[in-house]
Structure 1
Amino acid sequence: MKIEHVRVFILNGEKAHAQQVKQGSINTEGSWLSETVIANPMSNYPEYFDRRSSWLGMGGRVIVQIIADNGLEGFGESTGGMATASIINEHISRILLGKDPFQIEKLWDMMFKITLPYGRKGIPIMAVSAVDLALWDLISKARQEPLYVSLGGATKDKVQAYVTGNESTKIKDRGFMGQKLAMPYGPSSGWDGMKRNVALVAETRDILGPDMEIMLDCYMAWNVEYTIRMAELVAPYRVKWIEETLPPDDIDGYAELNRKVITSAIATGEHEYTRYGYQQLIQARGAQILQPDICWVGGVSEARKICTMASACNLEVIPHAGGLQPWALHLIFSQVNIPYAEFAYYHGADKTNYDVVFEGVQLPQDGWFKLPECIGTGLSLREGALEVLDELTR
């Protein structure tokens, strides 16, 4: 089996949004994730305080379709829009054509090395990630087995999900492990913002009751001193972990937090890249919970290595957006040290078949994901997908 075609698409945001509104899976106001007050690295600039959409420029979804000479196809995706798509289309695809997709370690190494002159983190690794995911989907389909089997087999029969978002009424009594709150305020909002953060946590604990877990997502918006103070203030409400409080390069700061914060675990890694970045984080003992995003970190190939590195240090891995990414869900089932799957009610994810691109995206039932019953990731392009995808040409 050889790679015959590499197709690269960018999701057309306007067309996709119109289609989702038409099918009733989202509203016209946009997502809470980008249109409500959430602490972020730009919160100290008043003109960008209210909405992350006012400054985010990451680009839209990038879809990769790898087609083999026997007609089998594999799908992967990442973000970064035209920047990511161009790297795949104009550079990476050149070394893939005619290659054996089963040589996936070799192909990953080649993709990493050819992008080194302008890569190592960020957009180039997002491009590598999308291709790697498509390769794993393809070879597991060729083996006629679920992706988790190709990754070593199932380590659990089901995995419990938690929900990220601030709408507690959507979460209580639905079987989820808990709720991860998007913290609205950071240091620029002073003591008043701290009190409002605490009030949100207290209200959530009151709604969820004593047994469900609460986690805090801080999206790189806090600093060491602020995090330590907030950890003390929310300690009475039994917060399980505090996530991504610092910029990803402040590894020494994370190590300090991991030593000094004793009432909650420190979690991070969403914006870290490859095993090399995680090696530094692990060596510094910067977190108790590692959170690679499989669509950014380097794909399945790198995420597996990170899980192995973490297991040697008795650390848990909980992939960012793991329950929203079919490839990550298979990884979760294949790894002993991944206990939970993140889920979120946004972009229509509370609707069956909400995705405008793929059929086969699995949703949790009663708060739990079941072991996937599919070949590969189970993904295929849904009817009408090509109407919302713009294909790059060479």
Structure 2
Amino acid sequence: MSASKEHPRITAVRTFLVAPDPKKSEEEKPGHWLYYQEIANPMSKYPKYKDNRDSWGVDVLKHFCVEIEASDGTRGFAIGHGGFVGCFLTEEHFKRFLIDADPRDTNLIWDQMYRGSQHYGRRGITMMIVSVIDLALWDLLGKIRGEPVYKMIGGQTKDYLTAYCTGPNPDVAREQGFWGGKVPLPYSPSEPDSLQKNYDVLTAHRKKAGPGFPIMVDCYMSLNIQYAIKLISKCADLHIEWWEEVLSPDDTGGYVRLKQAFPQVRWATGEHEYTRYGYRHLIEGRLLDVLQPDVMWCGGLTELMRIAVHAAAYDIDIVPHGNSHYTVHFCMSQPNSPLIEYVAYSPDGRSVGPVHGDFFLKEPLPTDGIVKPSEFDKPGFGLELSPHVKLLPARDLLKPYHDIFGAWGDRD
């Protein structure tokens, strides 16, 4: 019997920051509904920060990119949150678990990254960085095998993806063929007459969208139990499909009380939770009806699949947060993922767009509220960088640090 050909191994891991486009530095944000419309949020209680999403630094870390190269020259690529911190931790710490590894060993690599970082972060920014590395690994593996990622993680479970739209105009979402529309709650409990004002805004949305069209409300971690009970009671006649992120992600006990008070209401949360351990209590306590992990935050695709299997045992739907190009592969492969979210990334909130703008040549977008597999049926995640994108190698940016402290092995 002849010896089988050795499978490619990882030979290099590189990180990059995205250079700002001077032509687009400020012209896109003014007037953008997501940044400048009043939206209840965790900082609403502080007048200095409540009116502008940018003011409290929610996007301060920006994006960073990871490229993983195999011994046969194949390269996997992913983008996510973490900025310079992401570059630093990947280059100086996580890289050690990847060099010389077999890219098929996704579970082993993930477990080593997780266990090897517990002394400085099991959630938040650390897990976001792990997520980007994991996604780059899956992109590499798909390209080596010549298969789209969703075919490697369970295959096709539906003919197309059914999408809902997050934005300020659910009536427009209905006209565009989306399954439903999710709107932000505008006022927090700390603002005068907010209960009535929130009801009036949601009532206007219901009237414009018409009966029978699902409307969801994103509360963005801004409420407390007492206020939530009053608001849900007042809005009973509006037939809200689900209430999302009503409480702080740390208040799992609060969700117990809400579920007891309104067993008939559909509750959704999970956007700001991390790893299967963070979701365990939400799932096993049956505290919610829709679980919303973000594949770019929760631990990547490897960990999201574990979370999905756990949720499936309790008949809980997985509707991931955000419309990333990575999410379409997950949703296509999972029977308990009936919907995919798309955000109206346009200044007026009347049309959806790629989550990363023109960073990639083509991201899968819905037509008449659906996304077909043909939109992402290419090896890996099926995306190509735009030739106009400029990436800044992190190794150059880290040189002053290396000059002073030295660097972990220069192996690539």
Q: What's the TM-score bracket when you normalise by the shorter of the two chains? A: over 0.9
Q: What is residue 335 of structure 1 aligned with on the other side?
A: 334
Equivalent pair of 1:256/1:286 in contact (CA under 8 Å): no
Distance 1:131 1:37, change over 3 A: same
Which of 110, 113, 119 matches 2:121? 119
Unaligned runs of 5+ in 1: none
Give the corresponding residue for 2:406: none
Equivalent pairs: percent with the same residue?
A: 38
SS in 1 for 2:168: coil
Query: Which position in structure 2 is the counterpart of 1:96?
Result: 98
Say if 2:249 and 2:273, in contact at 8 Å, map to a contact too: yes
Q: Which residue of 2 aligns with 1:326?
A: 325
Alignment map for 1:10-89 (pairs within 5 Å): 10-12=17-19, 15-16=20-21, 18-19=23-24, 27-29=28-30, 31-57=32-58, 58-89=60-91
Counterpart in 2 of 1:390?
A: 392
Alignment of 1:109-258 (within 5 A): 109-190=111-192, 192-258=193-259
What is the TM-score of this pair, normalised by structure 1?
A: 0.92
- Note the alpha carbon deviations across 1:201-226, whole angstroms, 9 max, x for none: 11111111112100000111001111
The alpha-carbon deviation at position 364 of structure 1 amounts to 0.4
CA distance in structure 2 between the partners assigned to 1:222 and 1:350 by the alignment: 28
Superposed CA offset, 1:173-203 (max 9, x none): 111011111111111014x211121112111
| Larger deviation, residues 210-219 vs 57-66 | 57-66
CA positional deviation for 1:327: 1.3
How far off is 1:11 after superposition? 2.5
CA contact (8 A) 2:170 2:215 kept: no
Q: Report if the CA contact (8 A) 2:344-2:353 is conserved.
A: no
- Give the aligned partner of residue 381 of structure 2: 377
- For normalisation by structure 2, the TM-score amounts to 0.89
Structure 1 counterpart SS, 2:235? helix
RMSD of aligned Cα (Å): 1.9
Q: Map 1:233-382 onto structure 2 (within 5 A).
A: 233-321=234-322, 324-346=323-345, 350-351=352-353, 355-371=357-373, 372-382=376-386
Q: Displacement of 1:382 after TM fit?
A: 1.2
Equivalent residues, number? 383
SS in 2 for 1:54: helix
- Contact (CA 8 Å) 1:252, 1:286: kept in 2 or not? no
**3-state SS of paired residue (1:359):** coil
Distance 2:74 2:241 in 1: 43
Letter in 2 for 1:18: K
What is the CA distance between 1:261 and its match in structure 2? Answer: 2.0
Who is 2:402 aligned against?
A: none
- 1:34 shift after superposition: 2.0
User: Which residue identity lines up with residue 297 of structure 2 in the other structure?
Assistant: W
In our comparison, the structure showing a higher alpha carbon Rg is: 2
SS at match of 1:242: strand
Amino acid at match of 2:383: L
1:17, 1:217 → 2: CA distance? Answer: 33
Deviation at 1:28, TM superposition (A): 4.7
SS at match of 1:381: coil
Q: Distance in 2 between matches of 1:47 and 1:293?
A: 29
User: Per-residue deviation at 1:80?
Assistant: 2.5
- Supply the distance in 1 between the matched residues of 2:266 and 2:169 (Cα, whole angstroms): 23
Matched residue type, 2:95: S
Task: Find the aligned partners of 2:106 and 2:357 in 1 and give their Cα distance.
Answer: 28
